[in-house]
Amino acid sequence: MSQELEFLGYSFNDSGILVDKDNKRFVFTTQKEYEILGEAITEYVYEILEKKFNFQKLYFDEDNTEESSFIYASQNYKDCSEIIIFINGSGVVRAGQWARSIIINENIDMGTQFEYYKKLSSNDRGIVVFNTNDNISKKGNTKMNSKDAIEHALFAYKKFIVPYNFSKIVIIAHSYGGTVTQNLLETFDDLNSNIRCIVLTDASFNTKKVVEKKLKNVPPIINYIISNKKLGEIIKKDDCIVYASAGTEKHERSSGVCVEAAINYINSYLNN
């Protein structure tokens, strides 16, 4: 357990539920205390990525780590033929998280990307976790090549993905991460032929813009959107995207609820 979280008197029980020293669930007090708790959870998630999943922390600039953004990746990712890239939404969430509010109020598995790592990792399949909201240093400076989510993702993709010979690439993105993914497709169109599929979870994605740009390589895309329909039920099809039910009507829960359907979709393309 991270020192920050322990200092605040919280821990996650065996069911992944955040509890205090009396084994009681979190109760909101003030916004300031909620934000302090959220920052402690960010550090705890980083700790899990490094210690449980054995991910390496890769800085944009190894010579100036205090002012540099970073991503996480499995130790052997450069040697893998298949790679899964994770892109979170906007706001306070950092690498490894889908929704902070779900981590705090429901459980850690529903609010993080952990279940995806467990079910998708293999010896020949690497994991890369972007950290698109890591834009400001502790000194208050804008981090180089990471002034916003899009710049972060474009730089991370160019530095950590493009140089390596991945035969199969999958992108999983939540919420605003869909717009970030769209920018990746537009910027690296010549390289997109190796992207086998894209999974979005209740994400923003401008299909009209993609069609207008006449991209050469648009992979299969599915967007699991909030709906009262059963998980995976097809809701509609657009020019280059399929919309399916995420199995929940709550935006923040979409990634956690649709995990099994998303993984089956991914494997259907990676296993071909």
Q: pLDDT confidence of 267, banded at 50, 70, 90?
A: very high
> Which domains does the chain show, CATH number per domain?
56-270 (3.40.50.1820)
* Residue of higher predicted confidence among 224 and 63: 224
Instruction: Please report the beta strands in 54-97, taking only residues with DSSP state E, as ranges in sequence order.
Output: 55-59, 70-74, 82-87
Check: CB of residue 27 under 8 Å from CB of residue 21. Answer: no
Mean pLDDT for the stretch of residues 18-33: 93
pTM assigned to the model: 0.96
Instruction: Please report the beta strands in the chain, taking only residues with DSSP state E, as ranges in sequence order.
Output: 10-12, 18-20, 55-59, 70-74, 82-87, 125-129, 168-174, 195-201, 221-225, 234-237, 242-245
Q: pLDDT confidence of 1, banded at 50, 70, 90?
A: low
172-221 pLDDT tens trace? 999 999 999 999 999 999 888 999 999 999 999 998 888 888 888 899 99
User: In the structure, how many helices (H) and strands (E) does the chain have?
Assistant: 10, 11
pLDDT greater than 80 at residue 225: yes
DSSP state of 79: G
The phi-psi region of residue 30 (left if phi > 0; otherwise alpha if psi is between -120 and 50; otherwise beta) is beta
How confident is the model at residue 3, as a pLDDT? 81
pLDDT greater than 90 at residue 124: no
Please, what sign has the CA dihedral across residues 90, 91, 93, 97?
A: negative
Q: What is the mean pLDDT of the chain?
A: 95
236-264 pLDDT tens trace? 998 899 999 999 999 999 999 999 999 99
- Return the percentage of the chain with pLDDT > 70, whole number: 99
